[in-house]
Structure 1
Amino acid sequence: MLDGKHALVTGGGTGIGLAIARALAARGATVTIAGRRPEVLERAGGGLHPLVMDVASEPSVRDGIARAVAAHGPVQVLVANAGHAEQGLVPDTGLDAWRRTMAVNLDGAFLSIREALPGMTRAGWGRVIAVASVAGIRGMKRCAPYVASKHGLVGLIRALAADHLGQPLTFNALCPAYVDTVHVARNIERVMARDGLDRDAATRLVNGANPHNRLIAPDEIAATALWLCGPDSGSINGQAIQIAGGEF
């Protein structure tokens, strides 16, 4: 269904981004995966096109997307997936940590969308999908910068949808709960150290943060992204779609 279309996925070398990139490629898209670490991007394989790009840097995003467009045509599916999180209470959070989170999660999405959007508009069809979080629609403990950045990302998507009503473009946010990625695996390690739990107990605790008591598979997120790129998705616009195993 995506034959002839160019998709670009930021943070596309691992986890959710890689699952979405592979799903888009399986449906015929030419897929560029962007990230900071070339060795990670190269390992992805599968006909995906690596692009070294730092979403927190305006020149890097401008140059990177221009190179991707020159190689593969206008970006018609943009998945703003690159993310960053740090834990801690607000009194213990320095301005540098705040700015790092905003630079990746919010500025990075803004820059990526801004640079891709003109070509998408000229091509006459486009899908922008931001990977937010349930933290984009509710509060969560010990990660105020992350929560604020994801709320901002959902707001950005809603504003873009309002700006482009009636055009063949849609803008949506995916809001997953805890997903089975390396980041959650590291969180299990932190829980073990913090609470003195063994791995099984820490894993149960982390899994229990999702309403259905299990981690969400990256392929479940990818399936939702594919749905938003499907032939009957044009009326799904400006939404923050929870993929969370139940009501949060």
Structure 2
Amino acid sequence: MTSGRVCLVTGASSGIGAAVAERLAADGHRVALAARSEDDLDAVAASIRANDGQVLPVPADVTDAEGVEGMYRAVEEAWGPVEVLVAAAGSGSGKALVDTTDDDWRGAIELNLTAPFRCLRRALPAMLERRWGRVVVIASVVAKRGEAQVAAYTASKHGVLGLVRSAAAELASSGVTVNAVCPGYVDTPMTDRTVRAISERSGRTEEQARDALARRQPIGRLIATGEVADAVAFCVATGAVTGQGINVDGGAVQS
């Protein structure tokens, strides 16, 4: 595979983003880590450096347009243009549709759809100039199906999969690929928050709530972050796959 690329991973302070960053570094790439929490970024960076990886922590808020620009400038000044973008920053919360506020809706769209759009748009000129680039967005299985109690999250993930498909069609002959990885329920801090919310709403114990989420995957367990990182690494390694929403969900959504 092509190695030694300049990578930027958003949402890299924990969960899927951290696992992706560690995998890309292990594959020999230089990896810039972006997230809001500087302390958490430093912890992930220390882990990567302990394994002789090349890493650059870049504290940034991807929901802020100026923050996105500053993030890119920091990477470019240190290493040059971003060649691999992994947009892993994202979040969601469970609420009935009638209880979903305008702020809930705006927050989901801003983080899960607008931020990846801005990051992709900013990365493209350098990728197009070099006629090589890889873009991977962490979406969700709910980019492909509706799910109760997460209307804003589901809509934002449907939207970002549409962005991926449109960009891939536009860029197909340019040497730039654009894909989404669509996980089911993954063993991450975000899922921990979901478990607590289900427990509070339903009266079930957290153990019962976690087990219910595990059973959403036909394999009967939560997905590991490393399994999502494997799919991202595949998208980075190949130039023949683009415009895809690759399911990592234990068989929940067949395609």
* Correspondence for 2:69: 62
Match runs of 1:104-183 below 5 Å: 104-183=111-190
Aligned 8 A contact 2:185 2:191 in 1: yes
Alpha-carbon distance, 1:2 to partner: 4.5
Deviation string 1:94-135 (CA, Å, 9 cap, x unpaired) is 111111111110110001111111112223311000000001
* Correspondence for 2:244: 239
* Correspondence for 1:88: 95
* Correspondence for 1:206: 213
Deviation string 1:21-54 (CA, Å, 9 cap, x unpaired) is 0100011110001011111101112132111111
* Correspondence for 1:40: 40
Deviation string 1:4-33 (CA, Å, 9 cap, x unpaired) is 310000001110001010100011110001
Q: How many residues align?
A: 246
Report the secondary structure of 1:229's partner residue: helix
C-alpha distance 168-20 of structure 1, shift in aligned 2 (>3 A): same
With normalisation by structure 1, the TM-score equals: 0.95
Name whichever of 102-111 and 64-73 sits farther off. 64-73
Rounded Cα–Cα distance in structure 1 between residues aligned with 2:135 and 2:188: 23
Tell me the amino acid that sits aligned with residue 237 of structure 1.
Answer: T
Rounded Cα–Cα distance in structure 2 between residues aligned with 1:104 and 1:201: 30
Alpha-carbon distance, 1:191 to partner: 2.7
C-alpha distance 62-214 of structure 1, shift in aligned 2 (>3 A): same
Q: Which runs of 5+ in 2 are unaligned?
A: 50-54
Aligned 8 A contact 2:91 2:190 in 1: no
Q: Which runs of 5+ in 1 are unaligned?
A: none
Report the secondary structure of 2:83's partner residue: strand
Rounded Cα–Cα distance in structure 2 between residues aligned with 1:4 and 1:193: 46
Tell me the amino acid that sits aligned with residue 84 of structure 2.
Answer: V
Report the secondary structure of 1:128's partner residue: strand
Match runs of 1:180-191 below 5 Å: 180-191=187-198
* Correspondence for 1:215: 222
Deviation string 1:63-110 (CA, Å, 9 cap, x unpaired) is 211221111111111001100212212221111111111111011000
Rounded Cα–Cα distance in structure 1 between residues aligned with 2:233 and 2:157: 21
With normalisation by structure 2, the TM-score equals: 0.93
Identity of aligned pairs, percent?
A: 38
Rounded Cα–Cα distance in structure 2 between residues aligned with 1:191 and 1:171: 34
* Correspondence for 1:3: 3
* Correspondence for 2:27: 27
Moved over 4 A (4+): none
Rounded Cα–Cα distance in structure 1 between residues aligned with 2:173 and 2:2: 22
Tell me the amino acid that sits aligned with residue 243 of structure 1.
Answer: V
Rounded Cα–Cα distance in structure 2 between residues aligned with 1:68 and 1:110: 18
Tell me the amino acid that sits aligned with residue 193 of structure 1.
Answer: E
When the two chains are superposed, the root-mean-square deviation of aligned CA atoms in Å is 1.3
Deviation string 1:171-212 (CA, Å, 9 cap, x unpaired) is 000000000001112222223333333343232212112221
